[in-house]
Amino acid sequence: MTVRDIVSTLEGVLLTGEELLDTDIKAACGADLMSDVMAFVKEGVVLLTGLLNPQAIRTADMMDIKVIVFVRGKKPPKDMVQEAQDNGIALIATKYSMFLACGRLYEAGLRSGGTRDIQ
């Protein structure tokens, strides 16, 4: 699935990252706590989050995650969009909740995610 497919599947708005529209995405991680994201070991990841602060961008940057989807109609402020743009990260806003956004992507064929053994 490409970033373009993610935007259309989520009826989303691309806030920055035109140049990434054809990037291939293989796995998804939905989380509001950034250390849960950093425990996620996959390549070609889209991050879905309700966390609207610059640490979402920085976490993605550290993890080489190129795409972030903000769920539930949340739209990041200008300085966050700027930081994402400076770091080559695409931002998408969607009206769908975390559950619906993940469900729609899964249904559209994005199936790879993380599993962890029960402690």
Residues that bind other proteins (CB under 8 A): 32-36, 38-39, 51, 53-56, 58-59, 61-64, 119
Dihedral sign for Cα atoms in the order 33, 18, 9, 106: negative
Tokens coding 23: 């990037």
Minimum distance of other proteins from residue 109's CB (angstroms): 26
Closest CB to other proteins among residues 7, 89: 89
- Nearer to other proteins by C-beta: 86 or 107? 86
Q: Tokens for 79, please give them.
A: 């300085």
State the minimum distance, in angstroms, from the CB of residue 107 to other proteins.
27
CB 84 within 8 A of CB 47: no
The residue (of 16 and 59) whose beta carbon lies closer to other proteins is 59
